[in-house]
């Protein structure tokens, strides 16, 4: 058993079939099978009787061989076509993105292709790719480090229709090469209707986020959730919500209109109500018809909590928007109307958010992949190629040697080291499974700091023990409870 941060572990098994079988007999917040591991997030227990595996299905997948790497493999198009059409692949497990299946059984030389030295920032939806002995199809546009051979127009995941994923472990897949195909259908966006808030201008990116979703990692569904869960929890408590209520995370200026009387709390940007600035750290009352605005974030992201919490858009027991795969309602748009999730509680008077310290030093637990003891030494900079999927790091001078590993569960805060040597600190929208070595994992008490790192910011790492990480997690929870004080002096009728 290997530690994956301070809230997860990896159990080593003998291959993907053993991983899937063991995963069916365990219960935890997340149970994620990999190539030769099972990832467990949170406390876990054995089930008395493992459910039987589902019936094996067969799939015929049309593909057009128009991927940008297809011509670089040293194979004639006719030879590549024969290799793909003559093999029958088996779904080993799912992960990385919702509905992304790891297909085993590739013939040589396709099964010998390693992952790219550095993942692409964006791979088109429907792309057929190979790496590390597997084939896979990207269900949605996302980062990816595999070699692109072509694409299909099949829809591989439907968040509204069980069993959600087209493929399941044990299914058999064959490819049928065709001359050309359109793109996969874009799933319709869920409408947002409510009488609490109207979105006037969402800015560059505004998302509904709670504390994220759990229990669907085996389908490839990311955790998502507020990038800064510390601020989100504090602001929710300040307006009388539970810590897990949904609020708005914004990467830029934001303008809303209140359709009813509300209490709001903001962090990370100037709050204006009816064009009047409100003091930082003070819960504000907003009257029906007044406009609410957040200025540009001071660092990375800002947050706005509303008494009662924001409702609507639930998917897999969470209202969190996943900016990569598009789960839940996706980014907010002008004209969206947002409801409250429940009746407002009594708001607190003031709140305190932990300060942002520059340069940033992050505490980490080593591993779970060994052999990279000094990989994170020294100081790093945040690259401009960073988002909620992960923060890419860079520095001047030589980079540490990276590599690839058999794909296994990953969590937000896991620090991957691709062969190119530039670390990636995974964010809340990362896939549940990855194939680059995880050299260390940011402790859960420091994850909130990642949300406020911007391109050019300096980052360094400090190794701590599991006991120190647990103590830091407990202290963070206690500090959030202390961060809200007093009671709002008025109550809405």
Query: 78 and 218 share a domain?
Result: no
Query: 218 and 263 share a domain?
Result: yes
Cα dihedral 74, 80, 86, 88 sign:
positive
Query: 68 and 41 share a domain?
Result: no
Q: From CA 272, how far away is CA 252, in angstroms rounded? A: 14
Q: How far is CA 142 from CA 1, 31, 145, 189, in A?
A: 30, 23, 10, 18
Q: How far is CA 299 from CA 118, 144, 210, 457, in A?
A: 27, 27, 20, 10
Query: 127 and 267 share a domain?
Result: no
Q: Which two tokens stand for residue 266?
A: 């903001």
474 lies in some domain = no
251 lies in some domain = yes
Q: Into how many domains does the chain fold?
A: 3
Instruction: Judge contact between 221 and 98, C-beta under 8 A.
Output: yes
Q: Which domain holds residue 136?
A: 58-177
Backbone angles phi, psi at 478, to 5 degrees: -65, -40
DSSP letter at 200 equals: E
Instruction: Judge contact between 102 and 136, C-beta under 8 A.
Output: yes
Alpha helices in 6-164 (DSSP H): 16-24, 77-85
Instruction: Judge contact between 7 and 470, C-beta under 8 A.
Output: no
Query: 75 and 39 share a domain?
Result: no
Query: 270 and 311 share a domain?
Result: yes
Query: 86 and 65 share a domain?
Result: yes
Half-sphere exposure of 320 (CA within 13 A, CB side): 25
Query: What's the burial of 167, exposed, middle or buried (CB within 10 Å: 0-12/13-18/19+)?
Result: buried
> Running along the chain, 493 residues long, what does each successive block of 10 average in pLDDT?
95 95 92 95 82 85 93 88 95 94 94 88 94 94 92 93 94 95 85 92 96 93 96 98 97 97 97 96 96 96 97 90 81 94 93 93 95 90 94 94 93 95 95 94 97 96 96 97 88 48
Q: What is the pLDDT of residue 323?
A: 75
Instruction: Judge contact between 92 and 104, C-beta under 8 A.
Output: yes
Which CATH number covers residue 99? Answer: 2.40.100.10
Query: What's the burial of 375, exposed, middle or buried (CB within 10 Å: 0-12/13-18/19+)?
Result: buried
Backbone angles phi, psi at 267, to 5 degrees: -145, 140
385 lies in some domain = no
272 lies in some domain = yes
Q: From CA 256, how far away is CA 175, in angstroms rounded? A: 48
User: Which among 177, 207, 231 is the end of a domain?
Assistant: 177
213 lies in some domain = yes
Query: 104 and 203 share a domain?
Result: no
Query: 204 and 342 share a domain?
Result: yes
DSSP string, 251-314: SS-EEEEESS-EEEEEESS-EEETTEEE-TTB-EEE-TT-EEEE-S-SSS-EEEEETT-B----
Query: 224 and 329 share a domain?
Result: yes
Query: 305 and 227 share a domain?
Result: yes
234 lies in some domain = yes
Instruction: Judge contact between 400 and 375, C-beta under 8 A.
Output: yes
Q: Which two tokens stand for residue 112?
A: 């010998």
Cα dihedral 384, 385, 389, 391 sign:
negative
Q: What is the pLDDT of residue 307?
A: 97
pTM of the model: 0.93
Q: Which two tokens stand for residue 466?
A: 């599991």
71 lies in some domain = yes
Q: From CA 7, how far away is CA 255, in angstroms rounded? A: 37
Q: From CA 24, how far away is CA 170, in angstroms rounded? A: 13
Which residue shows structure tokens 């509300």? 262
Q: What is the pLDDT of residue 493?
A: 39
User: Which among 336, 353, 370 is the end of a domain?
Assistant: 353
478 lies in some domain = no
Which helix (H) or strand (E) segment is 380 a member of? strand 380-382
> 447-474 b/e with 16+ CB inside 10 Å = b?
bbbbbbbeeebebebeebeeebbeebbe
Q: What is the pLDDT of residue 421?
A: 92
User: Which among 353, 368, 397 is the end of a domain?
Assistant: 353
Q: Coil, helix or strand for 391?
A: strand
DSSP letter at 1 equals: -
Query: 136 and 254 share a domain?
Result: no
Q: Which two tokens stand for residue 468?
A: 């120190």
Q: Strand (E) positions, 26-80?
A: 26-27, 30-33, 37-41, 45-46, 58-63
Q: Considering only CA atoms, which of 101, 83, 84 is closest in space to residue 92?
A: 101
């Amino acid at each position: 058993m290997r530690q994956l941060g301070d809230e997860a572990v990896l159990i080593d098994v003998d291959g993907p079939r053993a991983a899937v079988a063991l995963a069916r007999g365990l219960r935890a917040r997340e149970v994620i099978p990999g190539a030769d591991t099972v990832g467990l997030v949170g406390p876990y227990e054995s089930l008395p009787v493992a459910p039987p595996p589902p019936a094996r299905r067969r799939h015929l997948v049309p593909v057009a061989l128009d991927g940008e790497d297809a011509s670089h493999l040293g194979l004639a198009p006719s030879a590549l076509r024969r290799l793909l059409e003559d093999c029958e692949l088996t779904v080993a497990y799912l992960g990385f993105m919702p509905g992304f299946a790891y297909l085993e059984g590739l013939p040589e030389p396709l099964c010998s292709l390693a992952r790219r030295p550095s993942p692409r920032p964006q791979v088109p939806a429907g792309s057929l790719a190979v790496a590390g002995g597997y084939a896979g199809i990207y269900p949605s546009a996302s980062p990816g480090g595999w070699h692109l051979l072509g694409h299909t127009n099949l829809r591989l995941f439907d968040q509204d229709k069980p069993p959600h994923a087209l493929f399941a472990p044990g299914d058999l897949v064959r490819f049928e090469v065709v001359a050309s195909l359109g793109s996969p259908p874009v799933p319709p966006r869920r409408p947002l209707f409510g009488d609490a808030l109207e979105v006037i201008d969402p800015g560059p990116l505004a998302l509904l986020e709670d504390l994220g979703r759990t229990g669907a990692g085996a389908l490839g569904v990311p955790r998502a959730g507020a990038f800064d869960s510390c601020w989100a929890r504090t602001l929710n408590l300040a307006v009388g919500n539970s810590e897990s209520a949904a609020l708005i995370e914004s990467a830029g200026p934001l303008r809303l209109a209140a359709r009813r009387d509300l209490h709001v709390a903001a962090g990370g940007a100037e709050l204006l109500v009816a064009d009047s600035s409100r003091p930082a750290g003070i819960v504000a009352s907003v009257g029906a018809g007044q406009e609410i605005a957040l200025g540009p974030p001071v660092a990375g992201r800002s947050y706005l909590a509303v008494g009662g919490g924001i409702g609507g858009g639930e998917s897999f027991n969470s209202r969190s928007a996943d900016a990569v795969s598009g789960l839940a309602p996706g980014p907010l748009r002008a004209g969206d109307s947002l409801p409250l999730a429940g009746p407002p509680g009594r708001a607190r008077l003031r709140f305190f958010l932990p300060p942002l310290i520059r340069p940033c030093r992050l505490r980490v637990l080593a591993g779970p992949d060994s052999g990279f003891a000094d990989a994170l030494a020294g100081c790093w900079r945040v690259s401009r190629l960073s988002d909620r999927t992960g923060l890419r790091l860079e520095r001047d001078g030589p980079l540490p040697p990276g590599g690839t590993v058999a794909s296994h569960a990953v969590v937000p805060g896991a620090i991957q080291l691709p062969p190119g040597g530039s670390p990636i600190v995974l964010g809340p929208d990362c896939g549940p499974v990855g194939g680059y070595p995880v050299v260390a994992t940011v402790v859960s008490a420091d994850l909130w700091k990642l949300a406020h790192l911007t391109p050019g910011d300096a980052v360094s790492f400090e190794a701590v023990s599991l006991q120190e990480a647990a103590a830091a997690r407990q202290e963070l929870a206690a500090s959030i409870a202390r961060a809200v004080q007093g009671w709002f002096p008025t109550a809405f009728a």
